[in-house]
Amino acid sequence: MGRWLWMLGGLIVWTIHFMGVYAIASLADVVSRADDLTWRMIALAFSAACLLAALALTVVAARRVRRAAAAEAPEGFGDQLALLGGGVSALAIAWQALPTLIGY
């Protein structure tokens, strides 16, 4: 189970981000307005935390891929998949945070 969590870690962070931003926007819409500055900053802080988590996973996976390539280890596929998932999720989280950042 640990290998699956490692390989899908970035995508799990992306999923948590998507659900969290949706929940924050829904709650903001019920309490006041979804484009209120306070709620936008809450969503932006949550996006920043998720982006940092995805980037941390990406950096750790990149180091493991580099180390496995130097040692010519055959078990590098899981690390490569973690690197790909972390990179894609970091890009997607940044893309999804743009409307919050610019105010739309």
Rounded to whole angstroms, the Cα distance separating 45 from 47 reads 5
Residue recorded with tokens 């496995």: 68
Residue 48 corresponds to which tokens in the numbers above? 């920043």
Rounded to whole angstroms, the Cα distance separating 46 from 32 reads 19
- From residue 104, alpha-carbon distances to 9, 19, 37, 43, 96 in Å are 29, 18, 11, 13, 11
Question: What is the phi-psi region of residue 33: left when phi exceeds 0, alpha when psi lies from -120 to 50, beta otherwise?
Answer: beta
Q: Which of 43, 25, 42 is nearest to 34 (CA)?
A: 25
Q: Region 76-98: what's the mean pLDDT?
A: 94
Rounded to whole angstroms, the Cα distance separating 9 from 48 reads 17
User: What pLDDT, on a 0 to 100 scale, did the predictor assign at position 68?
Assistant: 78
pLDDT exceeds cutoff 80 at 20: yes
Q: 44: pLDDT confidence band, cut at 50, 70 and 90?
A: very high
Burial class, 70, CB count within 10 angstroms (exposed 0-12 / middle 13-18 / buried 19+): exposed
User: What pLDDT, on a 0 to 100 scale, did the predictor assign at position 35?
Assistant: 75
